[in-house]
Amino acid sequence: MLNIVFNLVIALAVWHWLSAAPRAEAAQPSVLDPAQVPHLSAEGRADYARFLLQPTPRAFAVAVDGTWGWAAAIADDPEETARRAVQNCAAWGGRGCRVYARDLSIVWPGLEAAPPRAPAAPLAGGRGWSLSADDRFLWHGPERARGAYLWAHGRSPGGADSRGAQPQPHVRAFNNAGYDVVRLDRDPDLDDTEAGAAWMRAALGELRRRGYPRVVAGGQSRGGWNALQALAEPGLADAVVAIAPAAHGPRGSPAQAWALEDLRRVVAAARARGTRVAVANFVDDEFDPDPDQRAAIFGQLASRTAGLLVLDRPAGIIGHGGGNDWRFTLRYGPCLLAFVEGRAAGC
């Protein structure tokens, strides 16, 4: 019974942001519109809305009897993901299952529709960084978009290159509601904490200059930390979404000895009284030296910003990468959108 209630709540929340998304011309089917998927029941349309929160590659399959199935990010292989979607549809008894949607496109015969292409060239950049539109998300352009979500990746302790990494799935809630998604890609060889903060400020300034009506600074780990550092300059971002923010390495790193003091300095430097801030911490995060103290420090942002939401160790979501968990996306993706836009105070 609890699972049924949870699914209904999620479906209602997802339908809310779908109804707020820009509508395509009547003659052009939209991958965002569950009502255009042939043969689906109301339950199937609710599950299609959940499918739209999944990372790419992704595929949704349906049969003429209304059976459906979908798959996402199977070995990062688009063809295998599509095969799995058809198999999942067939496993539920569907006969003649075929793919309706792949990634951002409708491929069903007679309803084919492809989205506008995101700019291929970087929007801005400099030595060590670039601001790039992510073509795994729908693109609107600053004249039509509801806003821009700037995503900053983490920094691997081993120095791995994270440029081009797909933003976390909760960002789909923003994109599906009309936000353009852009990445702040950082060269690992030049990416110290203060350089990342400067690049974050420069990228946010560029999005402001381009005329986006709302600008969100988001990121995970070091990207989330740099997003919080942007609060020192009023007006750069309308909202910050920091997922497991960290800048001092995992347990055993000598830098963790001063991690809490550095966080206090970041919070004390915040001067963004017009900015709404959401922070997520997770259980058993090896980059978190003291979860209780960190939660208390984040709480001090309430008096320095326009609104604060702390998702402190949500049940069942574990580790530094908890923001990638499907449960985080379904529980909090639509809520984060509502909070950022001032339509909700909490989740």
Among 51, 58, 23, residue whose Cα is nearest residue 37:
51
Distance (Å, rounded) from C-alpha 197 to C-alpha 225?
Answer: 8
What are residue 184's phi and psi, to 5 degrees?
-100, 100
Give me the mean pLDDT over the 200-207 stretch: 98
What percent of the chain is modeled with pLDDT above 70?
A: 92
Residue-wise pLDDT for 162-173, tens only, equals: 999 999 999 999
* Domains of the chain in sequence order: 2-106 (no CATH), 124-340 (3.40.50.1820)
Does a cis peptide bond (omega within 30 degrees of 0) precede residue 334? no
Distance (Å, rounded) from C-alpha 332 to C-alpha 311?
Answer: 9
Confidence at 7, pLDDT banded by 50, 70, 90: very low
Tokens encoding 286: 């090896």
Residue-wise pLDDT for 213-247, tens only, equals: 999 999 999 999 999 999 999 999 999 999 999 99
Whether this prediction's pTM lies above 0.85 is answered by yes
Residue-wise pLDDT for 77-135, tens only, equals: 999 999 999 999 999 999 999 999 999 999 999 999 999 999 999 999 999 999 999 99
Residue-wise pLDDT for 55-64, tens only, equals: 999 999 999 9
